[in-house]
Structure 1
Amino acid sequence: MDDLDGRAFARAEGPLKQQGCPVVATSHERETQLVAAFFGGVEGYFVEVGANEPRLRSQTWHLEQAGWRGILVEPQPNLVEELRAMRTAKVFAVACSGPENLGRTLPFHVAGPLSSLDRAGMAPGARPEKVIEVPVRTLDSILEEAQAPVAFDFLSIDVEGHEIEVLRGFDLRRWQPRLVMIEDHVADLSKHDFMRAAGYRIIRRYENNGWYVPQESEARMALGDAWEIVRKYYLALPIRKLRNFSRYRRGTIGVAAAGETG
């Protein structure tokens, strides 16, 4: 946790205490508290794509406990069982992707919380333990079936490198969620540019997540958040690209060497 994130949380402590929320210390819990503060304690509707386990890593458990309704999307059968046992939100046992994959069954690389449809986009160090076949839908088709409200409150997308494909299967201008949280390691600006083109602007960078709101939203970016966004999305990007290319080269050379000696 850096100083900017600490100050961002400090700004939210007052509203959190007024809403009766306990102030906690872990990074993930702080982010969920910041989300609660953003909505001011008002009940709403959430959509979590890449729900994973029901509580500890969830971006919506705390909202459901506060009376929110919503949708959980998770393709891993064991986690689907846990979600249905512990959560009241409707669970869709599918993976989300772009329109070209609607109705297909695709390989899903299982690696704990780093699992993904996109093997190439998985976090460095992710080691898939197995590959399973999962059904795939677009987020639009899921929201239509669930009869989700237009301008619902909160969308979280955390699918380990497959986020841009999920966004391509989701009509942002039609649904207009009030807050969109997207995991983004910022290897490039593709997700950021996609959101801007769809009429959204970034207001916060917290850990690996970008927070986006509609252009016309009254939510404003704090000065500390503005600096963190400039640093992460622009100033540090060339260095990050070089580092990622170096990792790619080392990996490619390592695979080639293994092939020569095998």
Structure 2
Amino acid sequence: MIIEKIKKIMPKVVKAPLKHLHACATYDPWFERSWSQEGEDQILRRIFKRREVGFYVDVGAHHPKRFSNTYLFYKRGWHGINIDAMPGSMKLFDNARPRDINLEMGIGSNAGNLDYYVFNEPALNGFSKELSEKRHEADTTDQVREVIKVDVRPLSQVLDCHLSSGQEIDFMSVDVEGLDFDVLKSNDWSRYRPKFVLAEILGSSLHEIEQTEIGQFMHDQNYMLYAKCMNTVFFKDSLLKWKTTPTGAAP
């Protein structure tokens, strides 16, 4: 019966692989599904393999599932804080992820408001004028539709208001299209120290990361380079007494 179903599915997969990807996965025990853009959630899954519950902070969360580094963990029973500046973005989060704290706001070095560049591709939205204009000029498909004012607050203030007393952060994911450094600087690292921090450093090779402003800043906060995807870099709290299992995963 299963073999016959696979035979029916496979020709369709060749023509439309994305549409039938889930159907194929049903019959492939080796398939690992990822919601992240570069497989970040699979690295995190390995790190937190034995953790049934945990807490995350996602800055620049974008969408409850699409390009999400946290959705895999939400499905496992974790919860956390999702933050995104895109107007209307948190309606989707409130519906799809009611256990989470979902905040529609921007994160910046200081409280105030900033120009927010809205693209026809929402994943590119952000506060960086330089990066937004470069993308707008380089690609006729990815265009800025409008520029609006959005309120921003430092990350430390947001965590002061919304993080429960004593709550540890297992990992924090930051992806705000060019201004990750500003977000990281706005945290109070003496009070809020995620075990792992994910940040985007575009176009940097492994030997260049520690020389970037983010790499140097995280080193100064006693975080060490731990892993890397194409653009996303993982930093681990070097002050953390982190025990691992024989497979290298967290207990």
**CA distances 1:62-118 after superposition (whole Å, capped 9, x unpaired):** 1111111100001112222212221121111100010xx31x122100122011111
Question: For structure 2, which runs of at least 5 residues remain unmatched after alignment?
Answer: 1-28, 137-142, 205-210, 245-251
Moved over 6 A (4+): none
Question: Percentage identity across aligned positions?
Answer: 24
Given that 1:213 and 1:219 are in contact with CA atoms closer than 8 Å, whether structure 2 keeps it comes out as: no
Q: 1:64 to 1:29 in 2, by over 3 A?
A: farther
Please report how far the alpha carbon of residue 22 of structure 1 lies from its aligned counterpart in structure 2 after TM superposition. Answer: 5.4
Aligned to 2:66: 56
Out of 59, 74, 81, which is 1:71 matched to? 81
Q: 1:91 to 1:72 in 2, by over 3 A?
A: same
Given that 1:96 and 1:139 are in contact with CA atoms closer than 8 Å, whether structure 2 keeps it comes out as: yes
Q: How many residues align?
A: 198
Aligned to 2:50: 41
Using the alignment, how far apart are the partners of 1:173 and 1:131 within structure 2? 35
- Secondary structure at the aligned position of 1:72 is classed as strand
Using the alignment, how far apart are the partners of 1:113 and 1:183 within structure 2? 14
Q: 1:123 to 1:191 in 2, by over 3 A?
A: farther
Confirm whether residue 108 of structure 1 aligns to residue 116 of structure 2.
yes
Aligned to 1:248: none
Given that 1:150 and 1:174 are in contact with CA atoms closer than 8 Å, whether structure 2 keeps it comes out as: no
Aligned to 1:16: none
Using the alignment, how far apart are the partners of 2:198 and 2:83 within structure 1? 15
Using the alignment, how far apart are the partners of 2:221 and 2:133 within structure 1? 26
Question: For structure 1, which runs of at least 5 residues remain unmatched after alignment?
Answer: 1-19, 221-262
Please report how far the alpha carbon of residue 28 of structure 1 lies from its aligned counterpart in structure 2 after TM superposition. Answer: 3.0
- Secondary structure at the aligned position of 2:91 is classed as helix
Given that 2:39 and 2:229 are in contact with CA atoms closer than 8 Å, whether structure 1 keeps it comes out as: no
**CA distances 1:154-191 after superposition (whole Å, capped 9, x unpaired):** 10000001111111110123211101000111567011
Matches within 5 A, 1:34-183: 34-42=43-51, 43-88=53-98, 89-98=100-109, 101-102=110-111, 104-111=112-119, 112-122=122-132, 124-126=134-136, 127-148=143-164, 149-183=166-200
Matches within 5 A, 1:237-256: none
Q: 1:27 to 1:106 in 2, by over 3 A?
A: closer
- Secondary structure at the aligned position of 1:161 is classed as coil
Using the alignment, how far apart are the partners of 2:157 and 2:57 within structure 1? 13
- Report the TM-score, using the length of structure 1 for normalisation: 0.69
Confirm whether residue 194 of structure 1 aligns to residue 228 of structure 2.
no
Q: 1:203 to 1:123 in 2, by over 3 A?
A: farther
Question: Match for 1:141: what amino acid?
Answer: Q
Question: Match for 2:63: what amino acid?
Answer: E
Given that 2:59 and 2:174 are in contact with CA atoms closer than 8 Å, whether structure 1 keeps it comes out as: yes
Out of 32, 39, 43, which is 2:41 matched to? 32
Q: 1:107 to 1:73 in 2, by over 3 A?
A: same
- Secondary structure at the aligned position of 2:130 is classed as coil
Alignment RMSD (CA, Å): 2.5
Question: Match for 1:189: what amino acid?
Answer: T
Greater share of helix: 1
Given that 1:153 and 1:178 are in contact with CA atoms closer than 8 Å, whether structure 2 keeps it comes out as: yes
Question: Match for 1:32: what amino acid?
Answer: D
- Report the TM-score, using the length of structure 2 for normalisation: 0.72
Using the alignment, how far apart are the partners of 1:219 and 1:205 within structure 2? 21
